[in-house]
Amino acid sequence: MRIVVLAGGIGGARFLRGLKVAAPDADITVIGNTGDDIHLFGLKVCPDLDTVMYTLGGGINEEQGWGRTDESFRVKEELAAYGVGPEWFGLGDRDFATHIVRTQMLAAGYPLSAVTEALCERWQPGVRLIPMSDDRVETHVAVELDGERRAIHFQEYWVRLRASVAAEAVVPVGAEQAKPAPGVLEAIAAADVVLFPPSNPVVSVGTILAVPGIREAIAEAGVPVVGLSPIVGDAPVRGMADKVLAAVGVESGAAAVAEHYGSGLLDGWLVDTVDAGVVDRVTEAGIRCRAVPLLMTDEDAAAQMAREALRLAEEVRA
């Protein structure tokens, strides 16, 4: 079975770890969000690609969900001693090596997709990880700070401000001109099922879908497209989905997110058991819906969620 997954960071990576257990023989292609990418200290940092790569390759810091295990911050301390920031973004020494290799390869002329493939040779994530695009796309968030409207990088919104101010708009800068990376459209066309993990529907899955051609390829693939709600009750399981959903005028709820994707894209939707009450609303929107436990407390729970998603895909197909 060929499965295509559109993944953001922590939620996407943990779901993928479960999917590998649930479907050990499947051929899994992950289309990774690169809107969170940031240039720091002259280096290109790709948080979502790295989170997927480290999580599936056994190198992730499990408590944080991002960055390397057994990490130290000597380089960051030295940079700070020179007065070189930003001090709010935690790049560890081991993680730095990844960004140095990536930046060196990009400077040598390799596209991000080839660089990601090369990095994955070390990590052996057991999936094919492709960035959504080789072109630069950067998610910016419009906020009001000190009485002034400003557009800031998504990482500044999330890591420095901890999403403490309202997001007035979310813009994937560069997405309109971006092309899907080599292999993205081919993987979608060859897929038996497409899955949206419980990743952020605006700044993760939404950014991938904003690359011209990707949404259309999924809608036209003629295979089941099944998603899992990142909202349980009325709050995101992690992250700031509620804040960025408000920016695009969508209420923070499992049904509203399904409607936001829409029946033109989504065939099936899993909500948590606490949201069983919205199953009828989602069904009325033309999307087959089930309520199952959706908290990825451990790998078994993530595997069970993946099984439920694949089961719903089969129901849709039948």
Q: Which two tokens stand for residue 230?
A: 């990142």
Q: Pick the binder of ligand FO1 from 86, 90, 126, 212 (CB under 6 A).
A: 90
Strand partners of residue 288? 268
- Cβ-based nearer residue to ligand FO1, 91 or 191: 91
96 makes contact with ligand FO1 (CB under 6 A): no
d(CA 5, CA 3): 6
Q: Counting contacts by CB under 6 A, is residue 91 touching ligand FO1?
A: yes
Q: Are strands 148-153 and 138-145 parallel, antiparallel or unpaired?
A: antiparallel
Q: How far is CA 106 from the centre of its chain?
A: 22
Are residues 209 and 267 in contact, defined by beta-carbon separation less than 8 angstroms? no
Is 236 a residue that touches ligand FO1 (CB under 6 A)? no
- Out of 3, 4, 7, 8, the only residue in the binding site for ligand FO1 (CB under 6 A) is 8
Enumerate residues 6+ apart whose C-beta is below 8 A from 26: 1, 2, 3, 19
The length of the chain is 318
Beta strand pairing call for 231-232 and 235-236: antiparallel
DSSP 181: P
Q: By CB under 6 A, is residue 212 in contact with ligand FO1?
A: no
User: For residues 268-297, which are near ligand FO1 according to CB under 6 A?
Assistant: none
Taking the least distance from each CB to ligand FO1, the nearer of 33 and 304 is: 33
125 binds ligand FO1 (CB under 6 A): no
Task: Identify the DSSP state of 133.
Answer: B
Q: Which is nearer to ligand FO1, 29 or 33 (CB)?
A: 33
Selected binder of ligand FO1 within 3, 60, 66, 143 (CB under 6 A) = 66
27-46 residues in contact with ligand FO1 (CB under 6 A) are 36, 45
Using the minimum distance from each CB to ligand FO1, give the nearer residue, 15 or 66. 66
Q: Which is nearer to ligand FO1, 152 or 292 (CB)?
A: 152
Residues annotated in the binding site, as ranges?
Answer: 50
* Distance from C-alpha of 113 to C-alpha of 281, rounded to nearest angstrom: 39
Size of the site for ligand FO1 (CB under 6 A): 17
Question: Would you count residue 259 as binding ligand FO1 (CB under 6 A)?
Answer: no
Does residue 132 touch ligand FO1 according to CB under 6 A?
no
Question: Is residue 50 a contact residue for ligand FO1 (CB under 6 A)?
Answer: yes
Q: Considering only CA atoms, which of 136, 135, 137, 216 is closest in space to residue 171?
A: 137
CB of 184 to ligand FO1, least distance (A): 19
Provide the minimum distance between the beta carbon of 121 and ligand FO1 in the complex, in angstroms, as a whole number: 19
Beta-bridged to residue 196, according to DSSP, are: 227
Q: Which two tokens stand for residue 86?
A: 């930003």
Contact between 252 and ligand FO1 (CB under 6 A)? no
Nearest-approach distance from CB 147 to ligand FO1, in angstroms: 27
Which listed residue (18, 32, 47, 198) binds ligand FO1 by CB under 6 A? Answer: 47
Give yes or no for residue 61 binding ligand FO1 (CB under 6 A). Answer: no
Instruction: Tell me the Cα Rg of the chain.
Output: 19
- Taking the complex as a whole, the smallest distance from the CB of residue 76 to ligand FO1 amounts, in Å, to 10
How many helices (H) and strands (E) would you count in the chain?
13, 14
DSSP 253-289: SHHHHHHHH-TTT-SEEEE-GGGGGGHHHHHHTT-EE
Contact residue for ligand FO1 among 5, 15, 48, 180 (CB under 6 A): 48
Residues 6+ apart with CB under 8 A from 51: 9, 10, 12, 13, 60, 65, 66
Residues in the site for ligand FO1, rule: CB under 6 A?
8-9, 36, 45, 47-48, 50-51, 66-67, 89-91, 95, 155, 158-159
